[in-house]
Amino acid sequence: MFQSIAGKANLEKADLEPALKALKDRLMTKNVAEEIAEKLCESVAFSLEGKKLASFTRISSTVQTAMEEALVRILTPKRSIDILRDVHVAKEQRKPYVVVFVGVNGVGKSTNLAKVAYWLQQHDINVMMAACDTFRSGAVEQLRTHARRLQIPIFEKGYEKDPAVVAKEAIQEATRNGSDVVLVDTAGRMQDNEPLMRALSKLIYVNSPDLVLFVGEALVGNDAVDQLSKFNQKLADLSPSPSPRLIDGILLTKFDTIDDKVGAALSMVYISGAPVMFVGCGQSYTDLKKLNVKSIVKTLLK
């Protein structure tokens, strides 16, 4: 489809356009948000414009290589977080390591909180759960069921309590009973819902957790961009603190539902700069993995 123009002086925008358009389409087929696919293609075009094409290469493969490099660069975490190490540091300081799970409704916060609890247990870490979704029907019983199955203590105060206060009491309890980690479940909320976002930033402000984990589902389309940017923006704008806490990392769920449409991973990391720390890929406790950057990039470009 794209002819070779080896030997031609310098690459111009018009030479790159057909290959970039095809690539943008491919990324969107894989569920990369339109805005992100567009920006990526622009940056690839920018990096190639004016460059000489190596002899005997096609424009399409030059573009593909440049894109591959860009994707690896974006998906490889710039700040790395080693939870296990940080948990041990906190332990030496005799305070529990606190993780807050946040995200929109139904993405898998509570289920994946239980998976993370199981994973920590496997590393001989004492975990406690805090049932701070005091709103959604069945949320407390849901977490209690996981706690019972995993034989993990749970701190709960039923429904309609202020979640920020429940979290605070949970952390105090954990300090008393020597738990290493507190996993705080929160209610799902839409990124545009100002009162609920305000309540979340209060919870984070009051409890200064060690890790704010954004839970997002791999099924999400263009909304991925809006979810992450608004969560960060609202956490910044609505916090009483002059230096508010933002999203530290991403937990990507429902990876088992999407076949090769892995684009949400890219959209989320691109827009937030936060690393994907865990990937949920099923409904049992063992279905928690690390992100495989190579395989994501390969799938995106296939």
Partner 1 sequence: MVLGELGGSITRALQAMSNATIIDEDVLNECLKQITRALLQHDVHIKLVHNLQTNIKNIVNLHELAAGHNKRKIIQQAIFNELCKMLDPGKPSFTPKKGKPSVVMFVGLQGSGKTTSCTKYAYHHQKKGWKPALVCADTFRAGAFDQLKQNATKANIPFYGSYTESDPLKIAVEGVETFKKENCDLIIVDTSGRHKQQKDLFEEMRQVAEATKPDLVIFVMDSSIGQAAFDQAEAFKESVAVGAVIVTKMDGHAKGGGALSAVAATKSPVIYIGTGEHMDDFEVFDVKPFVSRLLGMGDWSGLMNK
Ligand X SMILES: Nc1nc2c(ncn2[C@@H]2O[C@H](COP(=O)(O)OP(=O)(O)OP(=O)(O)O)[C@@H](O)[C@H]2O)c(=O)[nH]1
The DSSP H or E segment spanning 264 is helix 263-272
Q: Could you say which residues in the range 246-275 bind ligand X, by CB under 6 A?
A: 253-254, 256-257
Check binding of 112 to Mg ion (CB under 5 A).
Answer: no
Q: Which is nearer to ligand X, 53 or 279 (CB)?
A: 279
* SS3 state of residue 131: strand
Check binding of 141 to ligand X (CB under 6 A).
Answer: no
Q: Which amino acid is at 93?
A: Q
Q: What is the DSSP letter of 243?
A: S
Distance CA 221, CA 243 (A): 31
Distance CA 208, CA 112 (A): 21
Check binding of 146 to ligand X (CB under 6 A).
Answer: no
Q: Name the binder of 172 from ligand X, partner 1, Mg ion, none, CB < 5-8 A by kind.
A: none
Check binding of 233 to ligand X (CB under 6 A).
Answer: no
HSE value, Cβ hemisphere, 13 Å, CA-based, for 75: 23
Question: Count residues contacting ligand X (CB under 6 A)?
Answer: 24
Check binding of 223 to partner 1 (CB under 8 A).
Answer: yes
**Residues contacting residue 199 through CB under 8 Å, at least 6 positions apart:** 163, 164
Site string for partner 1, 25-64 (x = CB under 8 A): x--xxxx-xxx-----------------------------
Q: Could you say which residues in the range 69-88 bind partner 1, by CB under 8 A?
A: none
Q: How far is the CB of 282 from partner 1 (least distance, A)?
A: 9
**Residues contacting residue 217 through CB under 8 Å, at least 6 positions apart:** 107, 108, 252, 253, 254, 264
Q: How far is the CB of 78 from ligand X (least distance, A)?
A: 25
The DSSP H or E segment spanning 280 is strand 276-280
Q: Could you say which residues in the range 102-121 bind ligand X, by CB under 6 A?
A: 103, 105-112
Report the residue from 109, 146, 230, 234 that binds Mg ion according to the rule CB under 5 A.
Answer: 109
* SS3 state of residue 287: coil
Q: Name the binder of 178 from Mg ion, ligand X, partner 1, none, CB < 5-8 A by kind.
A: none
Check binding of 134 to Mg ion (CB under 5 A).
Answer: no
Measured in Å, how far apart are the chain's first and last C-alpha atoms?
Answer: 17
Q: Name the binder of 192 from ligand X, partner 1, Mg ion, none, CB < 5-8 A by kind.
A: partner 1
Distance CA 136, CA 187 (A): 7
C-beta contacts of 85-88 below 8 A and 24+ residues apart: 86/210, 86/211, 87/120, 87/125, 87/180, 87/181
> Which one of the spans 50-58, 72-80, 104-112, 251-259 is the region binding Mg ion (CB under 5 A)?
104-112
Distance CA 80, CA 188 (A): 26
Distance CA 268, CA 299 (A): 16
Q: Could you say which residues in the range 163-222 bind ligand X, by CB under 6 A?
A: 187-188, 190
Check binding of 136 to partner 1 (CB under 8 A).
Answer: yes
Q: How far is the CB of 297 from partner 1 (least distance, A)?
A: 18
Residues that bind partner 1 (CB under 8 A): 25, 28-31, 33-35, 104-108, 110-111, 114, 135-146, 149, 190-193, 217, 219-224, 226-227, 230, 254, 256-259, 261, 263-264, 283
Residues that bind ligand X (CB under 6 A): 103, 105-112, 133, 136, 139, 187-188, 190, 253-254, 256-257, 280-283, 287
